[in-house]
Amino acid sequence: MTTPDLAAIRQEAVDALGSAPTGAELRAAASAALGKRSPLAEAHRQLGSLDPDARKEAGRRLAEVRAELEALAERRGQELAAAERAAELDADRLDLTEVIPDAVPDRMGRGHHHPVSVTRRALEDTFVAMGFVVAEGPEIETDWYNFGALNMPPAHPARGMWDTFYLDLGEPESTVLRTHTSPVQIHLMEQALATGSLPIHAVMPGRCYRRDTPDARHLAVFHQIEGLVVDRSVTFADLAGTIETFTTAYFGSDIHARLRPAYFPFTEPSAEFEITCTLCRGAGCRTCSQTGWIELGGCGMVDPAVFDAVGIDSEEWQGFAFGFGIDRCVQMRHQIADMRLLTENDIRFARQF
Ligand code: FA5
């Protein structure tokens, strides 16, 4: 082989190896330049036809070129592997900063209340405007407040309506994370009796806990707002009127409420109240299980057994109570298809409120 031939073979291989854009193409170029069918291998096979001195010299030059090309292929392989790894890392990178200062200057560095808190305040305001006061009660309750005083003695089957978290405190199953805000009714009635401050017109918002599997309409930790009126001459019509007034004031006049007979141990008669599903406007959708209605809460006339439990004379006083989901209200007010979005802390979701 002549020197110009070898120089041309070398140059072609150097160009191909040095510019291979991917690992796969580098392997193909290396096989073409250094493999059994490469011009270099062919030149090596022809060495035998040369006289001994020329063979020695040509063999040395071929070995030099092969070593150079092998080193080049190795180097290029390392470069490509590093570039591919960097591209992979870049694609995997999570931008945790999220805030784009120029796009949202007024939100820069400032948080805002969660939609559940905003809704809780709006609901409180709506009821305060209707003449209610706002009260609160504990999230950890004894069995008595969560169940017993609400006309559910131990082993009462209605306890099964609430899948309860029990705390490992005191006697087994004596302390619970409250499953509803209804126990606050009992605290308020006890306080009113102790301070001589009957009648009661109060709403009681707060967090509740149930062993419910989260889905589009349920969370394990959620919020309710309880309402309690204890006065003389209170009727079911007052309860229905209060719910109607609230629904219109809060959701707007195109959203209707309806009451359906239901059972709660602490009210008699009892009802569930539902509003038109705001996502489908009553047509039926996934969120309302195709019914066009969403259950907001329960209500009814305070059962005399509850008055007896706290020592209020049920001949003199009557009352009504209601309790409904604040998270459900957020969902209906803002047409959120899945309630779980409220707890996922996705800034793109939270920023919309
Ligand atoms: C009660 O909790 C009764 N204490 C309501 C009541 C109060 C009746 C006063 C009578 C008098 P219920 O289990 O149906 O009832 O819950 C009321 C509302 O809380 C539901 O309609 C729903 O809006 C909300 N809610 C209940 N469970 C969940 C949950 N896991 N996730 C989100 N919201 C819930």
pLDDT digits (tens, 9 = 90+) for 195-210: 999 999 999 999 999 9
What is the position in ligand 1's atom list of the atom closest to the CA of 298? Answer: 8
Distance between the two ends of the chain, CA-based, in angstroms? 79
Residue owning tokens 């270099």 = 40
Q: Give the global pTM.
A: 0.72
3-state helix, strand, coil in the chain (%, to 5): 45, 20, 35
Centroid of ligand 1 to alpha carbon of 224 (angstroms): 7
Give yes or no for residue 110 having a pLDDT over 80. Answer: no
Averaged over 108-120, what is the pLDDT?
86
Lowest mean per-residue pLDDT among 101-110, 143-152, 251-260: 101-110
Q: For residue 311, which of 205, 230, 238, 227 has the smallest C-alpha distance? A: 230
CB 59 within 8 A of CB 47: yes
Please, what is the Cα angle at 37 between 61 and 5, to 5 degrees?
40
Q: What is the C-alpha separation between 31 and 37, in angstroms, rounded?
A: 8
**What is the Cβ-side half-sphere exposure of residue 294, based on CA atoms within 13 angstroms?**
33
pLDDT level of residue 250 (50, 70, 90 thresholds): confident
Which are the contacts of 186, defined by CB distance < 8 A and separation ≥ 6?
A: 145, 149, 150, 306, 309, 310
Tokens at 120, concatenated: 């809780």
For residue 101, what pLDDT band results from cuts at 50, 70 and 90? low
Which long-range CB contacts under 8 A does 238-243 form with residues at least 24 apart?
Answer: 238/320, 239/299, 239/300, 239/301, 239/320, 239/322, 242/130, 242/320, 242/322, 243/273, 243/299, 243/322
Measured distance CA(64)–CA(195) in Å, rounded: 104
- What is the whole-number distance in angstroms between the Cα of residue 210 and the centre of ligand 1? 10
What's the whole-number average pLDDT of the chain? Answer: 91
Q: What is the DSSP string of 328-347?
A: HHHHHHTT-S-GGGGGS--H
What's the pLDDT at 347?
A: 84
- Nearest CA, atom 9, ligand 1: 322
Assign 181 a pLDDT band (cuts: 50, 70, 90): very high
Q: Which residues line ligand 1 (CB under 6 A)?
A: 180, 182, 210, 212, 218-219, 222, 224, 226, 264, 267, 270, 295-300, 321-325, 327-328
Instruction: Identify the weakest region by mean pLDDT among 12-16, 68-72, 232-236, 344-348.
Output: 344-348
Place of tokens 């040369």: 50
From atom 28 of ligand 1, which residue's Cα is the shortest distance away? 218
Nearest CA to ligand 1 atom 27: 218
* Closest residue CA from atom 32 of ligand 1: 218
Segments of the chain assigned E as strands: 133-134, 140-142, 175-177, 200-209, 221-231, 257-264, 267-276, 293-302, 318-325
Angle between helices 3-19 and 52-92 (to 10 degrees): 10
Q: Is the pLDDT of residue 4 over 60?
A: no
Both tokens assigned to 93: 């990178």
Average pLDDT score over residue span 175-188 = 98
- Residue 267's pLDDT is what? 98
Residue 31 in tokens: 């096989």
Mean pLDDT of 239-249: 91
pLDDT score recorded for residue 249: 87
- pLDDT of amino acid 107: 54
Pull the structure tokens for residue 147: 């169940």
